Amino acid sequence: MENHLKDALEIRDYAKKNNEMFKESIPLIASENVMSPLALEMLLTDFGHRYAEGLPHHRYYQGNYYVDLMEDKVNEIGKKLFNVPQIDPRPVSGTNANMAVIFALSRPGETVTAPDLSGGGHISAAKFGALGFRGLNIVNYPFNEDTMSIDPDGAMRVIREVKPKLALFGQSVFLFPIPLKEMRDAFQEVGCSVWYDAAHVIGLIAGKQFQDPLHEGADVMSGSTHKTLPGPQHGIILGNTDDETWKKIQRGVFPGVLSNHHLNTMAALGVTMAEMIDFGEEYARKTIENAQTLGQELHSLGVDVFGEKLGFTKSHTIVADIRKFGGGKKVAERLERCGIILNKNLIPVDKNKNSMDPSGIRIGAQEITRIGFGKDDVRTVAELIHRAISTETPDDVIRKDIIQFKSKFNEVKYCYGKEAPYDYITLFK
């Protein structure tokens, strides 16, 4: 039999090199974060080998005694963190959670209102995404370019006109809270369900530094758990609705869109939510402060950052029109070579442009905050970004400066334990 140990070790080597690359880079992807060592430990447990279809104490498998206790505890922690009566931590990703909500609250042919992609909407809400595959009629809200968000007056007008079965709010570019309270009258007039996709801002909501959708008019809130919430790649659904609607959502999760629900990542999510109860407010506040500082500093250096009139952002994210520096693709690739990791992004002028060559970039401050960056450090980041995109300084020269600067930040903060190594390289020794 042919021995493929060499191939296995090659994969292991890629993992080591990826760790080393991020250890020496400034991570600014708005949809990523790093877990605490205690949460990471959960991924290595026997939970990762097991099945647990259904709800706690009502399983289709034996051997779930401790799984049930763990899931009960995760539910308890999550309800406390978000101050909600209903929680389902079983979805295995944010889009998986979205699909469960779609199956529960809509039928093919019905109308859903949602943000447009060029206005920061998520691909699951697009015609070629989960909403489209469900066979739904998607109507987009009018867009406010100053805030990179929906126009609330226009959104209410659309809701009253088309009378959707489901009104979806939430974006991949999420700079400012959505005025749900102001739109309540429109929701009640047409009798639609209100769904808030909090994937990007759920950690800020948990830290009580953003809006509180489930107490402002939303019936259900979905999200991924690895962006501003610094947990595993998993999903979650939270509710503040009637029992019958909640039962539909739980059936949408199982057997609707999954069977087993990745028990090790659920355990890691529980640990992360417990840490957020204890550390989340400070972490979320500093994340927003760092994002606002980064937006202001880039703006002062001549970068066209959106949201200037409103302080650039009230979340972890800023977005910039980077056309005068060569466009999103060119800038993102240049920054990656220098050791700054962010992503190119569509902006309003890109209505009919290829998403692989957009005019903007998106930057997130949550991961650098998690590893200890403060306002002065963020100003340095802005200077490094500007230097890379506006000068002919060789990549390796800037990269050397970034490696030296980043070497000061090698611990995960806002979590349990005094020592929390950021690079996890010790796992491979």
Q: What is the pLDDT of residues 135-188, one digit of tens each?
A: 877 888 888 877 778 888 999 999 999 999 999 998 888 899 998 999 999 999
Asked if the model's pLDDT at residue 428 lies above 80, the reply is no
Instruction: Considering only residues 170 and 379, tell me which one the structure prediction assigns the higher pLDDT.
Output: 379
- Per-residue pLDDT at 115: 85
Between 112-116, 201-205, 282-286, the lowest mean confidence (pLDDT) is in: 112-116
CA distance 264 to 52: 11
Reported confidence tier of residue 417, pLDDT bands at 50, 70, 90: confident
Give start-end residues of each CATH 3.40.640.10 domain in the chain. Answer: 40-273
Contact 199, 242 (CB under 8 A): no
- Per-residue pLDDT at 339: 98
Asked if the model's pLDDT at residue 126 lies above 90, the reply is no
Between 33-42, 130-139, 165-174, 348-357, the lowest mean confidence (pLDDT) is in: 130-139
- Per-residue pLDDT at 143: 84
- Per-residue pLDDT at 145: 79
Strands 317-321 and 235-239: unpaired
Per-residue pLDDT tens for 243-261?
A: 999 999 999 999 999 999 9
Q: Mean pLDDT across the chain, nearest whole number? A: 92
SS (H, E, C) the chain: CCCCHHHHHHHHHHHHHHHHHHHCCEECCCCCCCCCHHHHHHCCCHHHHCCCCEECCEECCCCCHHHHHHHHHHHHHHHHHHCCCEEECCCCCHHHHHHHHHHHHCCCCCEEEECCHHHCCCHHHCCCCHHHHCCCEEEECCEECCCCEECHHHHHHHHHHHCCCEEEECCCCCCCCCCHHHHHHHHHHHCCEEEEECCCCHHHHHCCCCCCHHHCCCCEEEEECCCCCCCCCCEEEEECCCHHHHHHHHHHHHHHHCCCCCHHHHHHHHHHHHHHHHHHHHHHHHHHHHHHHHHHHHHHCCCEECCHHHCCCCCCEEEEECHHHCCHHHHHHHHHHHCEECEEECCHHHCCCCCCCCCEEEEECHHHHHCCCCHHHHHHHHHHHHHHHHCCCCHHHHHHHHHHHHCCCCECCCCCCCCCECCCHHHHC
Average pLDDT over residues 20-32: 96
Rg (CA), the chain: 22
Give start-end residues of each CATH 3.90.1150.10 domain in the chain. Answer: 280-428
Proportion of the chain above pLDDT 70, given as a percent: 93
Asked if the model's pLDDT at residue 286 lies above 80, the reply is yes
Average pLDDT over residues 362-380: 98
- Per-residue pLDDT at 173: 86
- Per-residue pLDDT at 354: 79
Read off the pTM. Answer: 0.94
Token pair recorded at residue 112: 């859903």
Token pair recorded at residue 295: 């937006």
Asked if the model's pLDDT at residue 226 lies above 70, the reply is yes
Whether the link from the prior residue into 421 is cis, omega within 30° of 0, is no
Q: Can you tell me which residue has the tokens 């060569």?
A: 326
- Per-residue pLDDT at 167: 94
Reported confidence tier of residue 38, pLDDT bands at 50, 70, 90: very high
- Per-residue pLDDT at 149: 81
* Calculated CA dihedral for residues 311, 313, 317, 322, nearest 10 degrees: -50
CATH number for the domain whose boundaries are 40-273: 3.40.640.10
- Per-residue pLDDT at 422: 54
Q: What topology is assigned to 280-428 in CATH?
A: Aspartate Aminotransferase, domain 1 (3.90.1150)
Reported confidence tier of residue 361, pLDDT bands at 50, 70, 90: very high
